[in-house]
Structure 1
Amino acid sequence: MHIHEGYFSSTFVTGLFYRCWRPDTPKAIVIVIHGFGEHSGRYDGLATHLVHRGFAVYAPDLRGYGRSPGQRGHIDSWRDYWYDLSMFRNFVAGRERQMPMFVYGHSMGSLVVLDYLTYQIAGLQGAILSGVLLEPGKVANPLLIAAAQLLSRYLPTFSLRLGLDVRALSRDPEVVEAYRKDPLVHNRASARWGTEVLKTIAAVKAQVKNIGDPLLILHGEADRINRVEGAHWLFREVSSTDKELRIYPEGYHEPHNDLQKEQVLHDITDWLERHL
């Protein structure tokens, strides 16, 4: 396995960081888009598993996350993430010419990917969506929403703590402890970020019929961060005829890092192989 780190440019920002895990002769590419507050390095286990099965994995740190520049957890518009994914996909395609390509989005990353797919983007083999952000849990309380809407208008960069319960990420205490100690993890979001998330959830729900790509949806049944009802809604409403839903009993927010991760990794690999 070859591991490479580097930088790419997106719209209005340069020096976005990315990681690549690659076998000698990959049969396909998987682009991984991380969740809120985290970064590409937290996907090393998933990437290593996929590389050993012949897939190359590329994962950026979105603007404001990990080793990329920008205010932590801030965007001017959700379109910023759309550009980051679009430019990164073009960057990867330039390095891995004529290679089948999938995209994998977790939590906030799932919303980035869903928004991207509503534009009926061509050329992808399919998408994997994990911990789907369509029905957020307790962090989306009415008082926090009202404060974000007011501040987004007058002080869009004002930073708020989301109060994320890290114990809800995984039932594996080692995963939770590693998250707590990770210096690249943060728990802050700007007021504008908060309002853009809500706007994008509404936009995706209104345009979900535009998505016809093959989909694999993964969700922990006991996810308190993003409620499982969002995954069920997506599976029911999306136009894709090739779609699969995997709900993991008693599972928490990060299926790939939870106690049933071996089953999750098997499900991911099996789906990717069937869609080459």
Structure 2
Amino acid sequence: MTRHGQGTLPTGQYWQGWTVPDPVGVVVLVHGAHEHGGRYAHVAQRLGEAGYASYAPDHPGHGRSPGRRGDIVGLDAAVGGVAATVRAAADRHPGVPLFVYGHSLGGLVALQYLTGEPHERVAGGVVSAPALDTSTATPVQRVVAPLLARVAPGLGVLTLDAETVSRDPQVVADYRTDPLNHTGRMVARTGHAIMTGAAGMPGRLRGLRLPLLVLHGGDDRLMPPSASEVVRRHAGSPDLTVRVYDGLYHEPHNEPEQDEVLADVVAWLDGHVPAR
């Protein structure tokens, strides 16, 4: 049974957590674009059943955090929220190993954090459909994106199709009606942050040494599986597992097969908890 808590980070961002007595590990959940940490409550519940505490910040401009809706301000701001959450979790649970689990934009943010200066107790990461494939952007969009990010950061530039998140109609319906989701277009500054972060990630990945689990739906139409192949090709970690689930859409943790996916995540975490 998990116990829910919430608060505000030094960055001003909202966070929530699901704790269990004497956790074997702590997982910081990093949500994707236009959603919020509350959509991972069922993931936290499953992790709690396995003995893990979970914490989830809302990115700037997302969920209950302040800011223009859908605008993460920049990759550094999103990473800063993750770093602050990890530090807070580490303080709350001394001596317990830490993990970072990021999905989509959150996968990019998690990788940016893990390839930077992660907390000394971070024992590994899980990334789901990381936002590393920007091949759909036209040459013109690539040239214009930096300019728009500066002069019109709130301009809507891209529509995300809710039908692509899951094959479960109820998940899609809930996504569309969730008042904490951003249902407008992706704003220019967030789009530019994704493009620049993805472009720089291959070079950063070469220095990654932490264990990493990568998950992807084989029929993901929002972020193609080729994005996870970027991690496979470039990650320097000697402990790398990439799992592509045939037929699944963008959110493996919200598909009809979510029990299998989350069981795989728990098994991987269990295998990477240092012996006490």
Q: Deviations over 1:100-137 (max 9, x none)?
A: 11000000000001111222533311000001111147
The answer on 1:105 being equivalent to 2:102 is: yes
The corresponding residue for 2:174 is 178
Aligned-residue identity in percent:
36
Q: Which amino acid aligns with 1:174?
A: Q
C-alpha contact (below 8 Å) 1:119/1:210 kept by paired residues: no
C-alpha contact (below 8 Å) 1:137/1:225 kept by paired residues: no
RMSD, aligned α-carbons: 1.6
Which residue, 69, 76, 79 being the options, matches 2:76? 79
Indicate the larger mover: 56-65 or 85-94. 85-94
The corresponding residue for 1:234 is 231
For the residue of structure 1 that corresponds to 2:40, the secondary structure is helix
- Structure 1 distance, partners of 2:94, 2:135, is 40
For the residue of structure 2 that corresponds to 1:259, the secondary structure is coil
C-alpha contact (below 8 Å) 1:120/1:211 kept by paired residues: no
C-alpha contact (below 8 Å) 1:161/1:188 kept by paired residues: yes
Q: Deviations over 1:57-91 (max 9, x none)?
A: 11111111000101112244321112111112111
For the residue of structure 1 that corresponds to 2:229, the secondary structure is helix
Q: State the shift of 1:253 in Å.
A: 0.2
The corresponding residue for 1:261 is 258
The answer on 1:166 being equivalent to 2:130 is: no
The corresponding residue for 1:7 is 8
C-alpha contact (below 8 Å) 1:219/1:253 kept by paired residues: yes
Superposed, 1:176-215 pairs within 5 Å as: 176-186=172-182, 187-215=184-212
Q: Which amino acid aligns with 1:4?
A: G
For the residue of structure 2 that corresponds to 1:4, the secondary structure is strand
C-alpha contact (below 8 Å) 2:25/2:52 kept by paired residues: yes
For the residue of structure 2 that corresponds to 1:9, the secondary structure is coil
- With normalisation by structure 2, the TM-score equals 0.92
Q: State the shift of 1:19 in Å.
A: 1.2
C-alpha contact (below 8 Å) 1:120/1:210 kept by paired residues: no
C-alpha contact (below 8 Å) 2:47/2:54 kept by paired residues: yes
The corresponding residue for 1:225 is 222
- Structure 1 distance, partners of 2:88, 2:159, is 35
Q: Which amino acid aligns with 1:123?
A: R
- Structure 2 distance, partners of 1:254, 1:136, is 18
- Structure 1 distance, partners of 2:134, 2:252, is 16
The corresponding residue for 1:123 is 121
C-alpha contact (below 8 Å) 2:157/2:188 kept by paired residues: no
Q: Deviations over 1:193-245 (max 9, x none)?
A: 22221111111122210111100000000111111011122123200111111
- Structure 2 distance, partners of 1:90, 1:259, is 34
C-alpha contact (below 8 Å) 1:104/1:128 kept by paired residues: yes
The answer on 1:66 being equivalent to 2:67 is: no
- Structure 1 distance, partners of 2:243, 2:51, is 23
C-alpha contact (below 8 Å) 1:78/1:197 kept by paired residues: yes
- Structure 1 distance, partners of 2:226, 2:89, is 33
Q: State the shift of 1:188 in Å.
A: 3.5
Q: Which amino acid aligns with 1:44?
A: A
C-alpha contact (below 8 Å) 1:72/1:189 kept by paired residues: no
C-alpha contact (below 8 Å) 1:219/1:255 kept by paired residues: yes
- Structure 2 distance, partners of 1:135, 1:161, is 17
- Residues matched between the structures, number: 270
Name segments (4+ residues, structure 1) moved above 6 Å.
Answer: none
Q: State the shift of 1:154 in Å.
A: 2.3
Which residue, 23, 46, 53 being the options, matches 2:50? 53
